[in-house]
Amino acid sequence: MSENNPQGAPIPFKAETRQLLNILIHSLYTEREIFLRELISNASDALSRLDFVMLTDRQVLEPERPLEIRIRPDKEAGMLVIEDSGIGMSRDELVENLGTIAHSGAKAFVEATQETDRNLSDIIGQFGVGFYSAFMVADWIRVTSRSYQPEAAAAAWYATGEDTYTLEDAEREHRGTLVEIKLKDDAQEFLDETRLRQVIKRHSDFIQYPIYLGDETEPVNRQSALWRQNPREIDEASYHEFYKQLTLDFSDPLTYTHMVTDAPAQMYAVLFVPGNPQNLVFSPRKEPGLKLYARKVLIQEFDTDLLPQYLNFVQGVVDSEDLPLNVSRETVQSNRIKALLGRLVAGKALDMLKDLGRTDPEKYAEFWKVYGQRLKEGVAVEPEDPEKLFPLLRFHTSQDPEGWTSLDDYLERAGEDRKEIYYFLGEDPSAVRFSPHMDPFRKANIEVLVLTEPVDPFMLLRMKEYEGHLLVNVADAELTEPEASEGEAAIPDLEADTVADLVTRFKTVLGDQVSDVRTTARLSDSPARLVDPEGAPEQSVQRVYQMMDKKFELPKKVLELNPRHSIVVGLAHLPEGDPRFALIAEQLYEDALLVEGLHPDPVSMVGRIQELIARALDGKDAA
């Protein structure tokens, strides 16, 4: 015992921990029972950690002692005791786990209480401060623990919820941790065995270790691994409850799937998609990855090899009979069976999402809003078979700008004669309404996918076609403008000499801002558009280069003019020397830049626009 911390001397809590305790002790909760859920969860974690240690090390205290949790109420003393035979804690670990802010998550919890209107009892477990929730019902708490290491001494931690705690040597014969809670007068309900049984069944039924109440010899909880049960015998409520125990996300998952297979490997898996990943930010599950078991023994808490990175939002458990029990973490990661399991699990996860999209489009739309960008990234990075992700993709379209459309939906609406899948690539979803590239598609009533997320150009590098239908950028499509319909006012074509003169005048005004100026028959509603010169990289490649290399310069564009548009016709008839020509020509070019998302300084157009307005109001032809 150091001179700075004599035996049993009060030790001050960190400031945030004191604030946390104040919140828990003095706030009202509708479900104070969650303290028991948290303490059982802590006990289960301690047992899991010992389980893993004993895979390769039998030199532990009491190696034959059963792994279990015991809960004992003492009505006469007003005490509730929760004891486990897990890994235990040394004196230093008691300080680290119960008295140190970095490990308790108290600061994050305190901050969250100031930013949420949710019932605080619903979020306690998400901050690693579950132990402290016991102060909602406790006058004082004593934690006595002995580490699994044979030579370790026992120690006791004691606190009343005030500003300090004490730490001292203790006598404890057995390995594990004993939590003694002196219950407040208004919390005596938790000494009633019927009430305790109800709480355990509600929150901890699938804890994999037996939970005994009092002197009973039969466990209260089912403890059988849910993932090893027959899926036909498990109802949705049980899956939801297991998900909440696994993740401490107290909202229902968006969807789930259960996998049991004998070949090519014997394995069991239950996978979940969280409804909102923000609910997991402060969960004890700090890393992505699935829980990996070998014959019901936890091998890895966060296994990231079973799913590709773009699916790391999936939560769940994988258990295999074919993984050897006596392997180290490194060996498991390189095991050939592990690679096989990964293929099976990833395939099942994708099937789960496909089923959701097919059976519940509305719920899939919720999924897509949260995780859609992950799947687009998956298309970009999937090394072997990006095509397996294509059916999962969803897009806004020119005809359904708010809804979500799959590639199959698009093709079904397009009809059997459609050979291409057309898309608009831009930076702003609203730009599709004004893009000159859309002129012939609007006229012909052809639906176009709208791609405006930063990941879209990367996705397009890997997605060239779908079910034999080429993906074509509307800017590159060989789709000419339909003839004017009957009754539609037609603007006479300009004479060839007039067109040539017009092009020359535009080139003079724009100079080296463009690589060329020419006319096109492709436009109708728009006076002009910008296209890439021949030999330039396609638009998606250019955008990728821009994002990856700040020094990359876009190729100078070609300005195409619509010789049948009233603005262009009017410009052609302006006399030489009329200053309005240069103003309007510059404005048409910069309008096209703006629609393409390429204008470097849109505010710079204001002066020119105001001058054009002034000239229009004055009715003057020259300055």
CA–CA distances in Å: residue 193 to residues 41, 72, 80, 108, 462: 19, 9, 11, 34, 61
CB 2 within 8 A of CB 91: no
DSSP 332-392: HHH-HHHHHHHHHHHHHHHHHHHHHHHH-HHHHHHHHHHHHHHHHHHHHH-SS-GGGGGGG
Mean pLDDT across 582-606: 91
Neighbour count for residue 4 (Cβ, 10 Å): 7
**pLDDT 10s digits, 560-572:** 999 999 999 999 9
Mean pLDDT across 243-271: 91
**pLDDT 10s digits, 400-446:** 999 999 999 999 999 888 899 999 998 888 889 889 999 999 999 99
Q: Please, is 402 exposed, middle or buried when counting C-beta atoms within 10 Å of its C-beta (0-12, 13-18, 19+)?
A: exposed
- In the predicted structure, residue 268 carries a pLDDT above the cut 60: yes
**pLDDT 10s digits, 40-65:** 988 988 998 898 888 888 899 999 99
pLDDT recorded at residue 210: 94
**pLDDT 10s digits, 448-460:** 999 999 999 999 9
pLDDT recorded at residue 347: 96
Q: How confident is the model at residue 386 (pLDDT cuts 50, 70, 90)?
A: very high
pLDDT recorded at residue 18: 66
User: Domains in the chain and their CATH numbers?
Assistant: 11-213 (3.30.565.10), 226-359 (3.30.230.80), 381-473 (3.40.50.11260), 496-618 (1.20.120.790)
CA-based end-to-end distance of the chain: 94
pLDDT recorded at residue 615: 87
Of the chain, the percentage scoring pLDDT greater than 90 comes to 57
pLDDT recorded at residue 343: 93
Of the candidates 447, 451, 571, 547, the residue with the CA atom closest to the CA atom of residue 499: 571
pLDDT recorded at residue 45: 86
Mean pLDDT across 525-546: 89
CA–CA distances in Å: residue 69 to residues 81, 209, 522, 530, 610: 10, 7, 76, 71, 79
- In the predicted structure, residue 607 carries a pLDDT above the cut 70: yes
- In the predicted structure, residue 108 carries a pLDDT above the cut 70: no
Residue showing tokens 């609406």: 413
Of the chain, the percentage scoring pLDDT greater than 70 comes to 84
pLDDT: which is higher, 81 or 598: 81
Instruction: Measure the CA–CA gap between 542 and 3, rounded to whole angstroms.
Output: 68
pLDDT recorded at residue 276: 85
- In the predicted structure, residue 388 carries a pLDDT above the cut 90: yes
Mean pLDDT across 584-605: 91
Q: How confident is the model at residue 124 (pLDDT cuts 50, 70, 90)?
A: very low
Mean pLDDT across 22-29: 57
Q: How confident is the model at residue 490 (pLDDT cuts 50, 70, 90)?
A: low
Residue showing tokens 């392997």: 327
pLDDT: which is higher, 213 or 1: 213
CA–CA distances in Å: residue 525 to residues 74, 434, 486, 587, 616: 84, 9, 17, 17, 22
Helix axis angle, 579-596 relative to 606-618, nearest 10°? 140
Instruction: Measure the CA–CA gap between 142 and 157, rounded to whole angstroms.
Output: 6
- In the predicted structure, residue 542 carries a pLDDT above the cut 60: yes
Instruction: Measure the CA–CA gap between 144 and 173, rounded to whole angstroms.
Output: 11
pLDDT recorded at residue 123: 40
Of the candidates 124, 130, 133, 134, the residue with the CA atom closest to the CA atom of residue 279: 124
CB 103 within 8 A of CB 129: no
pLDDT recorded at residue 2: 45
Mean pLDDT across 227-242: 92
- In the predicted structure, residue 322 carries a pLDDT above the cut 80: yes
Which sign, positive or negative, has the C-alpha torsion 157, 159, 163, 164? negative
Range scoring the smallest mean pLDDT among 258-272, 327-341, 368-382: 327-341
pLDDT recorded at residue 11: 87
Instruction: Measure the CA–CA gap between 148 and 153, rounded to whole angstroms.
Output: 10
- In the predicted structure, residue 362 carries a pLDDT above the cut 70: yes
pLDDT recorded at residue 536: 86
Average pLDDT in the chain: 85
**pLDDT 10s digits, 283-307:** 555 678 898 887 776 677 788 889 9
Residue 506 CA from chain centroid, whole number = 49
pLDDT recorded at residue 563: 94
Do the strands 558-561 and 516-519 form a parallel or antiparallel pair, or are they unpaired?
Answer: parallel
Instruction: Measure the CA–CA gap between 379 and 198, rounded to whole angstroms.
Output: 47
In our burial notation (b when 16+ CB lie closer than 10 A, e otherwise), range 275-314 reads beeebbebbbbeebbbbbbbeebbbbbebebbbbebbebb
CB 401 within 8 A of CB 452: no
CB 317 within 8 A of CB 71: no
CB 68 within 8 A of CB 84: yes
Instruction: Locate 108 and state its tokens.
Output: 């994050």
Q: How confident is the model at residue 212 (pLDDT cuts 50, 70, 90)?
A: very high
Q: Which residues have CB under 8 Å from 8's CB, separation 6+?
A: 166, 167, 168
DSSP 594-618: HHHT--S-GGGGHHHHHHHHHHHHH
Range scoring the smallest mean pLDDT among 87-101, 144-158, 198-212, 244-258: 87-101
Instruction: Measure the CA–CA gap between 596 and 425, rounded to whole angstroms.
Output: 9
pLDDT: which is higher, 85 or 293: 85
